[in-house]
Structure 1
Amino acid sequence: MNPTSTTPVTARTLEVPGARLHFEVRGAGSLVVLVGAPMVAAAFAPLADLLAAGHTVLTTDPRGVGASVLDDPAQDSTPELRADDLARLITHLDAGPAVVFGSSGGAVTALALAQARPDLVTKVIAHEPPLVELLDDRAEMRKQTEDLVAIYQSGDVLGAWRKFFGDAGIELPEQALEQMFGGDRDPAQVADESFWFNHEIRGSTFWQPDLERLRAVSARLVIGIGETSTGQTCDRTSRALADLLGLTPTMFPGDHTGFVGEPDIFDHRLRAVLGD
């Protein structure tokens, strides 16, 4: 949660098949879901606080990450499982159908939800889904991901993150890498990182959307791209998806996680997309 916020937040747990999901609810009005993968609820808190003026906002830790605990810690996280989790959360709140804003792996989750349960969504905003299988160089991208996981599993954490950002086309100074991923680290952060590399990254990036089903609900889909993400992998994958669906990408402020760095500006743009 946002420690500087005065917006009332209710934190709860929902039992779902194979997991106990941590989720948070704030505000009142039509339901908006903010979801990442592996990004947890806390990362969305500043934006959620702003959106809570006029909306009920649901955020959640995706299964296996943060406070959402798996019965089997070795179970892989797939877009289908995470979409089913979202469907159960929306149904549990009895406040749907919902607008779902998904970022990165969470955008893949949101697309999987649109395919499986279109009755639960009024609009899905997929912000920079990393769907490398849609690219012409998919074989090379898949190999890069497998190499990335192998480097992490060898124990070279900094090397894995260095390769991750390099493959993604994101420039990050070495000093920043060492500050974020070197030295003594929070054990919970390390556990989430390990789960992502070992059990989540492949499922999210190698996922192949059902284009026929998505085209059937394309009027409810928005493919979002950060204005400063030009040339990055997720810019390429998002444009590829938009082209396959016959949609024009919608630009949002900032980069891959622009809602974290500039939540006020991002809120303004998101509300315009929602028609607030």
Structure 2
Amino acid sequence: MAEPPLHYDVRGEGPVLLVIPGGAGHPMGLEPMTDVLAEHFTVVTYDPLGLAHGRLGPPVHDQRVEEWSEGAYRVLQRTLPDGDFAYVLGTSSGGIAALDLLARHPRRLRHVVAHEPPCVGVLPDGERQRAVFRRVYDTYRAAGLQAAGARLGAGLAGREAGELPPGRPLSRDEELGRPMAVFLAHVLVPFSSYTPDLTALTSRLTLAAGADSRGQLLHRTAEFVADRTGSDLVEFPGGHLGAVEHPVAFAERLMATLLPVARESR
């Protein structure tokens, strides 16, 4: 069977930094951050479903973390010079793929930063938290994007959603034309149901959480994974969408996290 096509963009010069976006992998909104990073790194932005490369419209199946991480590894095989090692930034669902990539292919990686990966099954109350995301999915299927977004925001903040905005289910064509809908339909539940093998994660890992996310579900998840793996926990500007909301400050914090690693590896 032929391997699925790969979709990615390369810009800048310097050590390779692989960026795995969150959501359905569409890198929308990340360009201001990668503009800054491309001044110091060869930034390789992976687009697992090709949503930024003209693929909106064809059918999408429920996604698997392993598919994203194996695709990311294939991207590195194409873009990483022989003998070199890559840095990786994964945000949200992309952070889960980055953890799986580190567990499966640590030999080509210098360091991984996973920003608020929603692998909530690792938590002591993990099954209850997974159920939060399943309710978001059910709400999306019953009432559409706005209602599901409101329930998702409430769940991440650890509060009840209250009265949800009215809505309707999306048609197939409407769903396939909207990356957020693809995320809710085909990424949210399978990715949040994934439990990383914490024993397989090496010391080349930093967990990142938004300063504005303190006390919230995904900050707690990042803290837990950092503690169980003996990794550093670094707070980044903003909340769960800090890379989009504060792109320059986010990029600067990432570089401040990775540059000491670069010096130590010389």
Q: Check whether TM > 0.5.
A: yes
2:150 is matched with which residue? 162
Shift of 1:187: 5.1
Higher relative contact order (CA 8 A, sep 6+): 2
Q: In structure 2, which of residues 17, 20, 23 is the aligned counterpart of residue 35 of structure 1?
A: 20
Report Cα offsets for 1:79-111 as digits up to 9, x if no partner: 110001111111111335210011111110100
Q: CA RMSD in A?
A: 2.9
Gap change, CA 1:117 and 1:68, over 3 Å in 2: farther
- Does 2:186 match 1:212? no
The answer on 1:51 being equivalent to 2:37 is: yes
Q: Give the Cα–Cα distance (whole angstroms) in 1 for the partners of residues 158 and 51 of structure 2.
A: 24
Deviation at 1:70, TM superposition (A): 9.3
Tell me, in whole angstroms, the C-alpha distance in 2 between the residues paired with 1:267 and 1:197. 27
Give 1:274's aligned amino acid: L
In structure 2, what is the Cα distance between the partners aligned to 1:232 and 1:124? 23
- Deviation at residue 48 of structure 1 after TM alignment: 0.9
1:227 corresponds to = 211
**Contact 1:24–1:58 (8 Å) recurs in 2:** yes
Q: Tell me, yes or no, if the aligned pair for 2:68 and 2:97 is still in contact at 8 Å.
A: yes
Q: Is the 8 A contact 2:175 2:181 kept in 1?
A: no
> Given the alignment of the two structures, is residue 252 of structure 1 paired with residue 236 of structure 2, yes or no?
yes
Aligned to 2:121: 133
| Alignment TM-score, normalising by the size of structure 1 | 0.81
Q: Partners of 1:47 and 1:144 in 2: how far apart?
A: 30
Which runs of structure 2 are paired with 1:76-95 in the superposition (5 Å)? 76-95=62-81
Q: Where does residue 264 of structure 2 map in the other structure?
A: none
Q: Which amino acid aligns with 1:211?
A: L
What residue in structure 2 maps to residue 3 of structure 1?
Answer: none
Q: Which amino acid aligns with 1:47?
A: M
Does structure 1 residue 21 correspond to structure 2 residue 6? yes
Q: CA deviation at 1:151?
A: 1.4
- The whole-number CA distance in structure 2 between the counterparts of 1:188 and 1:76 is 13
Count of residue pairs brought into register by the alignment: 249
Given residue 204 of structure 1, which amino acid in structure 2 is its aligned partner?
Answer: F
68-77 vs 189-198, which deviates more? 68-77
Q: Which residue is equivalent to 1:61?
A: 47
